Amino acid sequence: MKKTLLTAMMTICATFLMAQDCSDLFFSEYVEGSANNKALEIYNPTNNPIDLGLYVIKRYSNGSPFPTEALPLSGILQPKQTIVVTNGQTDSVWVPNGSYWSLPISQELYNIGDFHCSGIYPTPMYFNGDDALTLETVTGGVIDIFGKIGEQPENGWNNIPPSYTAGSQYWTSWTVDQTLIRKPSVKQGVKSNPALFMVHMEWDSLPRNTFDSLGFHTCDCASSNIWENQSNQHSFIAYPNPVVGNILKMNASAHWITIEIQNIVGQTIITYHFDGSARETSLYVPDLKAGVFFVKIFFADKTTAVQKIIKR
């Protein structure tokens, strides 16, 4: 009887834990670059639109155990889509108590942003690589934590045990002068303050001021059959990418018969049919709204190839 009850409880607990995957927002990208090139990307892994007005970003500056600033969000985030939040300082500002110029965010990064802070210090978007950040509900529920609340790591966090902080080895930092992207296998946020923030477990690192992956996120929550029957022999390029006008050019290594443009959840929204002799073309895509899409080519030998594109 006890064994049966224990098994039932374990099953219930496992089901509950699985149910948490892909069920709420989480941070999907972190940009800590030069000057005030600061950005956070938030991803909606669910199948439903989410009201961002129910959420707030908080910063726990310099090891504070309590939030030092908060940035309320607004708008609606569609399923499998992202919002990019950036610093809003667009001019140089003299800081009297530090005797230095606070330099602005780059125009490139600012233009990528969907939502900006006021640009007047302090806000959470003035984070440095030693600040903990949280995504919370307006009622105080913690949805995701970046870093470790209450810890100020010298020169940021890294991937080296036992402390996982850079210290005097500043060049090992993952959270200062870096862009971090959440691994596709991550399906939910960190809801409890970690004993150690082992950044490499859930994040991949890119060089400073890398912005070209902002605006979309690859996550195992968005599973579909788009990758089925992939060719090992054929490939293609789709350009320009991001698409900034209404023309998408295609060039492939083999003849194709069909091209599909699919949304991020694998639904086909545009289909083009060919006679099997085409290897290059220009597609007119005026009805393609801004967002992230997949271009899928069906070759004459019945294999396929897929490329992700962004429409600005």
CATH number of this structure's domain 24-206, picked from the four choices 2.130.10.10, 2.60.40.1260, 3.50.50.60, 1.10.10.1800: 2.60.40.1260
Instruction: Give 257's pLDDT tier (boundaries 50, 70, 90).
Output: very high
Residue 265 pLDDT class (50, 70, 90 cuts) = low
pTM: 0.71
Spatial contact of 207 and 171, defined as CB atoms under 8 Å apart: no
Task: Give the mean model confidence (pLDDT) for residues 109-115.
Answer: 94
Domain spans, the chain = 24-206, 236-311
What's the sign of the alpha-carbon dihedral 10, 12, 18, 20?
A: negative
CA separation for the pair 22, 45 (Å, rounded): 5
Encode burial over 177-201: b for 16+ CB neighbours within 10 A, e otherwise. Answer: bbbbbbbeebbbbbeebeeebbbee
Task: Say whether 236-311 and 24-206 share the same fold.
Answer: yes
Instruction: Mark residue 15 as left, alpha or beta (left: phi above 0; alpha: psi -120 to 50; beta: remaining).
Output: alpha
Question: In whole numbers, what is the pLDDT of the chain averaged over residues?
Answer: 89
Query: What's residue 242's pLDDT?
Result: 86
19-28, 104-113, 133-142, 172-181: the lowest-pLDDT one: 19-28
Tell which CATH architecture fits domain 236-311: Sandwich (2.60)
